[in-house]
A and B are shown apart, each in its own frame.
Chain A
Amino acid sequence: MAEMGEPAWEHWARERNDPKAARLKAEALDDVTVLDLSYKSYAGCYCSSMLAEFGAEVLRVEPPGGDFLRTCTPYGVLHHGEGLNYLTEGRNKFHITLNLEKPEGREILKGLVSQADVLIETYRPGVMHDWGLGYEHLCEINPRLILASITAFGQFGPMSRSRMPDYDNIIQARSGAQYDTGEMMPEGMSYDDCPWAIPTKAGPWIGWVQAGTFMAVGILAALHWRALTGEGQALDVASAEAYASTEDWAATWYQGAGVISERFGNLNTACWLYCFAPTKDGAVFLGGLRLEMWQAFADMVGKWEEWGAASWQDLAVFSEREEQLKWAPLVFAETRKYTNEELVAMSVDYARNGRLAPITPVVAPVCSPEEAMHDANWLDRGVFAPFHDPVYGELVVAQAQYKMTETPIRTKWVCRPVGYDNEHIYLKYMSLGPRRLEALREAGVI
C-alpha cells in the first residue's frame, strides 16, 4: 500500500505525466546530434523522429530539390505544398539542403560528421561508399560516430547489391506478414468472385515504421556502448527482417510441424477467445486468453448454463481449428444482439458485479480513425492535441505516446520546408555566413 496521505496512484501518475506539462521538463537526448540523410524512406525519417521527440538535435539533410518523400501523400493531397506523411515526421528537426553528388557537398558533410554522434542514411548499399562516405571513411573522421543504415536488403548478404528500392508495401509482402492476414475464401468461391479474399497488407506504413523504430532502439543501444567504451560503430537494418522479426509463432510451427500459416479471417490461429465479432452497429474485438475470461464471456451474454461453461476445463481445446469454426457463429449470434456501446458497458459492469468478477472478457469497439481521434479518453491523454505551427498553421499529428515523469517527449514544431534552416545550421556548425552560403547555393552545392 502507498504511504498514508499519498494520493491515489492514478492521481499521482496524472499529476506527473500529463503531456500538458511536458515542455517544462528536461529532454533525455538533448546532448545528441543526429544527421538524417534519409531519402525516399519513411523508415529513416521516422527513426530520426523517435530521437527528435526526446530532444536530439536532428539535422535533416535533403538534396537541393527536397526529399521525394515530400510528394508521397494520400491521393495527392498537399498542405502548404507539403505531403502529409512528411509533415508528420518533420517534427523538431532542422532542415538543410546539401548536394552530395558534388565533391564540395561531400566535404561539407564530412565537417558535419566530425561534429555529430549519429548519421542515419537509407541509400542503396554502396552509394555512400562510392561517395567516399562509407563507414570506413567516416570512422576515420569521427571514430565515435554511429552510422545507421536502413535499406531493403541490408549492407551484406547475397541480395545486398540489389537495385530494388525499399517501400512499405514490399516490406509487408517480404516479411511474411501479409500472406496469412486476410479473409478466408468462402466455400466454392474464387479470386474472381471475391477479390478481397486474398493476402492483405495493413493500411498504415507499419513495415517502414517497424524498421525505423528498431533502428532507433539500435542507435540508443549503440550510444550506451559508446558511453562505456568511447567506440562508435555501424548499424544495419534490412527492413523486411525488422518486420518479420515481430512474428511470434508461425516460424516455429513450420519448423516443428511443417505447417504453413494461412489466412484465418478475423479469428486467430494461435488462441481463443480472440476475434472481431459483429454487433448491431459494427463490430467489437473479444479477448479472453484465460479460461476464466472465456467463461466470463459466456456468462456475460447469458449462456453460462446452455453452453455448460462451468464444466470447461481447458482453454487449449477451443483453439483447435474445428472448435473455433464451431464456436465463432455461436458467439457472433450473441454479439449481434447488442450495440458496441452496450457490449463494452456489459464487460465493464461484469468486472464489478459478475459471477467471476473481477475477471471479465476484453471487449473493445472497432473504431474508424475519426472515432479514435474524437475519443475523449485519448484527447484527455494529449495524443491528438492540436498544434499551432508557425509555418503550417494548426495541425493534428499523433504525439505524446509515452508519458514520463522526468523527460517526456514533446512537439516543438511540426515540420519545415526544404532548406528552411540552412542559414542557422551552416553558420552554427560550419561558420558559413550569408555571402559564402550564397556562393555555395549558386554553385548548386546547397
Chain B
Amino acid sequence: MAESTWKDYREKKKSKPLPLKGIRVLEVCTLLMGPSGPGMLSRLGAEVIKCEMPPLGDTLRSLSPFGYFFREQSTSFIRPNPNKYWLGLDLHKPEGQQVFRELAAKADVIEENQRPGVMERWSVGYRQIKEVNPSIIYISKTGFGQWGQYARENRPSNDGAAQAMSGYAWMSSFPGQRPLKSRLYVCDSYGALMGEVAVLAALHYRQRTGKGQFIELSQSESIMRAMSWIWPYLHITGEPAMPAGNRDVSLCPADTFRCADDTFLALAAPSPEEFRGLCVAMGRPELAEDARFKDHVTRLQEENATELLRIIARWVRTKMPAEVEALAEKHGFAASRVYSVRDVVEDQHFRERGFLTEVDDPVVGEFLDYEFPVMMSKTPPRVRWTVRPVGFDNEYVMTNVLGKTEDEIEGLYECGALGKWADVLGRRPPADWDGKAGRIMARD
C-alpha cells in the first residue's frame, strides 16, 4: 500500500504547489461545455481570466433546478467556474477588443465557445490573435466544429443535441422504450474534458517547439469517440446496435437489480474468479460449471446472458442492498447501491479522501464542492474560491496584468468596454456581502 505517498494527502494538500503554475488562460465561454474546460485548468493552478459580456454575463447564471438559487447564485454555475478572475469586457466595442488583444499577447491559452466566425468578427479570432502572439494555443468548442454542413448552417447546439445526434441517447434506454436523455449534461462535461486533453498536449508540444496552434472541438464528435464497440459492431455485423436498459451487453453478469426493499443495486462479476465468487455467494456454485455460463464469451450470448441475469434478479429481489454489498466484498465481485446525490455528498470515503472538499469563500460562504478527480501526490489540484459577480476583478486584471493606470481604467468604463454586474439574480453578490470581501483591489 502506498502509505507514505498518500499519507495526510487531504490535510497537506492546501500548502503544496499546483501543476499548471505559470499558465495563463483567457476564457470567452458561456453555459457548460465552454467554461468547464478552463474550470479544470484553474483547479490545476492555471490563472484563468473569464471574460463575460457586461452586465449580464454567462447565460448559465440564470439556470438552476426548479428555480432554486444557492445564496443567490445559480447552483449550475458554481462547479464549472472555480478559482477564476472575473472580467466584464464588452467584445462588441473596439476598445474591449483592444484590451482582449493586450491580454492575449500575455496569455498561453484562449478558450471560446461562440458560434463559428464570431470571434473573428470581433477581431479576436485565431488569425488575428496569432499576429500578437504566435505561440498562442487557441481552442474553439462548438456543437459541430468550424467547418462542414452543420457549421455552415450556423446551427446552435446544446448538450442534449449531442446526446441526440450521436446515438448516445438512443443507446441509453430500455428495449422498446423511447430514447432517453441523461440527466447529466454528459456531452458538455465530456466535450470539455476531451478539449483539455488537446490543450495540454498542445502545451507540451509548444514547450518543445515554441509553436502554438488552433484546435477545434465538436461536442458530438467527442462523445462519439467514447462509444467504443458500437461503430465496429455496426460495420462488422451489419446489425443495428440496440439499447439494453441497465444490462451491460459487453460484461456478463453486469446489470442493475431490484432489492427486497424496492431500492436498486448494480452488480458486476464478469471475470472467472468474480463469477465463481458470485455463484458461491448465491449458494449456487454449480452455475460456475454450467456449460452455458462457464466462460465469459459464451455467457455473453443473448440467450445465456438473459437466463443468468434472471437467476441473479430473483436472488437479489430477496436481499437488502447492504447484504449483497457485504457478500460482494467477501467473495470479490462488485456491487453498489444506486447512489442518490445525498449518498454521494454524505459518503464517508469520498469525504476522507477530500474529493468532497470544504470551500470557505469570502463572497459565497462555506459549502462543499467536488475536487478535480485526479489526486496528485506532489501537486494536488484544488478549489480555492468560487463564483463572483460579472466584472468583479476588473481592477485587479487591468492593474496587475496590463499595468493600466486609474485614468485608463476609468476611460474603459466610460466607453463601456469594461462593465460590472446588473442588479439581477445570479449576477449580483449575495445580499449579505459587505462590498469588500473577496475583492482584490479597489476595496474603498
Contacts and interface: CB of A to CB of B under 8 A. Distances in A.
Interface string B352-382: 1101000000000001111111111111010
A261 B169 CA distance: 20
Contacts of A233: 376-379
Interface string B338-350: 1111111100111
Nearest to A215: B374
A245 interface: yes
Given A125-B1, A169-B254, A204 B374 contact: no
Contacts of B222: 401
A360 interface: yes
B169 A366 contact: yes
A26 interface: yes
Interface in A78-100: 78-79, 83-85, 87-89
Given A10-B146, A182-B180, A396-B235, A231 B218 contact: no
A217 B178 contact: no
Given A220-B197, A270-B63, A369 B173 contact: no
B230 interface: yes
Contact of B68 (A9, A237, A257, A274): A257
Interface in A280-318: 283-287, 289-290, 293, 315-317
Given A167-B268, A248-B79, A351-B154, A200 B173 contact: yes
B341 A247 contact: yes
A173 B341 contact: no
Give the size category of B's interface with A.
35 or more
Q: Is the interface of B mostly helix, strand, loop or mixed?
A: mixed
A178 B264 CA distance: 10
A287 B156 contact: yes
B171 A401 contact: no
Interface in B72-127: 74-76, 78-80, 116-117, 120-121, 123, 125, 127
Contacts of B152: 10
Interface stretch (A67-75, A105-113, A434-442): A67-75
B315 interface: no
A375 to B, nearest CB: 8
B167 A367 contact: yes
B288 to A, nearest CB: 16
B5 A164 contact: no
B227 A398 contact: yes
B149 A136 contact: no
A169 B257 CA distance: 12
A401 B225 contact: yes
A152 to B, nearest CB: 7
B241 interface: yes
Contacts of B6: 155-156, 234, 236
B373 A169 contact: no
Contact of B1 (A76, A129, A402): A129
Given A174-B336, A214-B193, A268-B183, 12 more contacts: A17-B214, A165-B332, A167-B334, A176-B344, A204-B228, A236-B375, A238-B373, A270-B66, A289-B63, A380-B148, A394-B235, A407-B213
5 contacts: A46-B226, A164-B329, A248-B75, A395-B235, A398-B226
